[in-house]
Chain A
Amino acid sequence: MKIIVSNRSGVPIYEQIKAQIKEAIFSGELQEDDLLPSIRQLAKDLKISVITSTRAYNDLEEEGFIVSVQGKGCYVLPQNKEMARENALRKVEFGLTDAISAAKAGGITKDEVAEMLKVLYKEDDYE
């Protein structure tokens, strides 16, 4: 699994770590019961503070992605389909919001966008 952090992006480092671990879980790269790098090892490897890596893992635990087992480490929890769907929906929403603002900026109507969506969606179906 890849975890890298940017010190210049303006996004808090614990958020960057969370997002990358979530992505690995959603993509199936991290499976149920997989062991994550230890909090202190991750802090050392990424040259960040232990508090930062702890915060990322604590959040992930609260959100039900991982579980920390005393003395052993953090493991990936099984993900239900509902959550994966929620995540997919959110991604679609993001993409569409982008498309809509591009359309508005370019003076393209809602109907035109809808038509384009239909065509593109069909094209995908035929593949």
Chain B
Amino acid sequence: MNNILEVRDLNKSYDTFSLKDVSFEIPQGYIMGFIGPNGAGKTTTIKSILNMIHYQSGEVKLLGMDSKDKAALINEQIGVVVDSPLYVEDWTMSDVELAVSPFYRHWDSEKYAELLKRFGIEKKKKVKELSRGMKVKIQIAVALSHEAKLLILDEPTSGLDPVARDELCDILADFVIDENKSVLFSTHITADLEKIADYITFILNGRIVFSGSKENLLEKYVLVKGGQREINSEQRKLIIGLREYGTGFEGIAEAKSIVRFPKNLLIEPVTLDEIIIYMNKGAKLHE
């Protein structure tokens, strides 16, 4: 299987925060969710991939090409979607096309018009008149009009209502029906990812905690709940992000460790949200 994106041992230090040996890859034809709490390093990683910031060491390969050597060629193959686009507020949709199309050799004007129509955005509408959902869509329309092979979305769903989020998921699923295209989707709204993502990369405090198929991640951990007296101090150490309260405790544990717990505990499948919450808590407890 070919990888559309390969990130190897990326290091980037700021005064108070650093990315440490960040590595992961996205195979062609799949959607990868990029998750982690605020400040974990999602945006820094994405900016490094896009060559928007300088990183101290590491390697980013897009479609097998080194991202620093072939920056211009690579930028054509990537579509970027952010929370609020960098278009001038007074631009109409036609102005947006005039402004961005010269940067792409394969700009398809007909496709742009067709996508605007499909997304229900009039060409004479101004950027400032667009709803949040439409601002995301216009960026996707631009990406698809220049034949992007990789869509990188940085928190595009944070301000969207459920209807707009569902539409976005549909558009992404449609995008990867073509087996050569992939998506890197950074979001806090993990419910969307639980449905459509094939792979998950989970970053915490600048380090990759997990990168692999979503099924493997969700099968790797379980949610454990029980009474405080039901576990001993050894078993307590197996629980990540342990939270104790008056009448019980809860936390997550590796699924393979459950044989070491008493049988009467409540053991449930875990969600992506719970993995983020408890892992984050677990990391703080160790500080």
Query: Using an 8 Å CB-CB cutoff, how does the interface string of A36-60 with B read, 1 for contact, 0 for none?
Result: 0000110110011111100100000
Interface contact A51-B196, CB-CB below 8 Å: no
Residues of B within 8 A of A44 (CB): 170, 173-174, 177
Looking across the interface, which residue of chain B has its beta carbon closest to that of A10?
Answer: B269
Complexed CA–CA distance, A44 and B31 (Å): 12
Given contacts A40-B176, A40-B179, A41-B177, contact A51 B170 (CB under 8 A): no
Interface contact B31-A49, CB-CB below 8 Å: yes
Residues of B within 8 A of A40 (CB): 29, 176-177, 179
Q: Within the complex, what minimum Cβ distance (angstroms) separates A42 from chain B?
A: 10
Residues of B within 8 A of A55 (CB): 215
Number of interface residues of A (CB under 8 A): 13
Interface contact A49-B177, CB-CB below 8 Å: no
Q: Does B121 contact A (CB under 8 A)?
A: no
Interface centre among A7, A41, A51, A55, by most B CB within 10 Å? A51
Interface contact B169-A47, CB-CB below 8 Å: yes
- Dominant SS at the A interface? helix
Provide a sorted-by-A list of 9 A–B residue pairs whose CB atoms are within 8 angstroms. A40-B29, A40-B176, A40-B179, A44-B173, A44-B174, A47-B169, A47-B196, A49-B214, A51-B214
Q: Within the complex, what minimum Cβ distance (angstroms) separates B198 from chain A?
A: 4
Query: Which A residues have a C-beta under 8 Å from some C-beta of B?
Result: 7, 10, 40-41, 43-44, 47-52, 55
Interface contact B195-A47, CB-CB below 8 Å: yes
Complexed CA–CA distance, A40 and B198 (Å): 12
Interface centre among A7, A43, A49, A51, by most B CB within 10 Å? A49
Q: Within the complex, what minimum Cβ distance (angstroms) separates B166 from chain A?
A: 8
Q: Within the complex, what minimum Cβ distance (angstroms) separates A68 from chain B?
A: 14
Residues of A within 8 A of B169 (CB): 47
Query: Using an 8 Å CB-CB cutoff, how does the interface string of B62-102 with A read, 1 for contact, 0 for none?
Result: 00000000000000000000000000000000000000000
Interface contact B196-A48, CB-CB below 8 Å: yes
Complexed CA–CA distance, A46 and B102 (Å): 38
Residues of A within 8 A of B195 (CB): 7, 47-49
Looking across the interface, which residue of chain B has its beta carbon closest to that of A41?
Answer: B177
Knowing that A10-B269, A43-B173 touch, tell me 20 more A-B residue pairs with CB under 8 angstroms. Answer: A7-B195, A40-B29, A40-B176, A41-B177, A44-B170, A44-B174, A47-B170, A47-B195, A48-B196, A49-B31, A49-B195, A49-B197, A49-B198, A50-B29, A50-B176, A50-B198, A51-B199, A51-B213, A51-B214, A51-B215
Interface contact B30-A50, CB-CB below 8 Å: yes
Q: Within the complex, what minimum Cβ distance (angstroms) separates A52 from chain B?
A: 7
Complexed CA–CA distance, A44 and B195 (Å): 10
Residues of B within 8 A of A48 (CB): 195-196
Residues of A within 8 A of B198 (CB): 49-51
Q: Within the complex, what minimum Cβ distance (angstroms) separates B260 from chain A?
A: 24
Complexed CA–CA distance, A41 and B31 (Å): 14
Complexed CA–CA distance, A55 and B196 (Å): 14
Instruction: Out of A10, A41, A47, A51, name the residue touching B30 (CB < 8 Å).
Output: A51
Complexed CA–CA distance, A21 and B169 (Å): 25
